[in-house]
Amino acid sequence: MKFFADTAEIDDIKEMAATGLLDGVTTNPSLIAKSGRDFMEVTREICGLTDGPVSAEVVALDHPTMMKEAEILRKIADNVCIKVPLTIDGLKTCKALTDDGTMVNVTLCFSANQALLAAKAGATFVSPFVGRHDDNGSNGMDLIRDIRTIYDNYLFDTEILVASVRHATHVLESALIGADVMTAPPAVIKGLFKHILTDKGIEGFLKDWETTGQSIV
| DSSP-assigned states of every residue in 59-125 | ---SHHHHHHHHHHHTTS-TTEEEEEESSHHHHHHHHHHHHTT--EEEEEE-SHHHHHHHHHTT-SE
Catalogue all structural domains in the chain, each as residue range(s) with its CATH number.
Answer: 2-212 (3.20.20.70)
pTM summary value: 0.95
Write the pLDDT tens digit of every residue in 62-103. Answer: 999 999 999 999 999 999 999 999 999 999 999 999 999 999
Residue numbers of the chain with a pLDDT score lower than 50: none
The residue annotated as part of the active site, out of 2, 68, 83, 200, is 83
What pLDDT score does 133 carry?
Answer: 85
What are the phi and psi torsion angles at 68 (to 5°)? -65, -45
Write the pLDDT tens digit of every residue in 177-187. Answer: 999 999 999 99
The answer to whether 89 and 71 have CB atoms below 8 angstroms apart is no
The pairing of strands 54-57 and 24-26 is: parallel
Listed in sequence order, the residues at least 6 apart from 200 whose beta carbon sits closer than 8 Å to its beta carbon are: none
CA distance 7 to 95: 26
The answer to whether 84 and 101 have CB atoms below 8 angstroms apart is no
What pLDDT score does 136 carry?
Answer: 87
Residue 34 annotated in active site = no
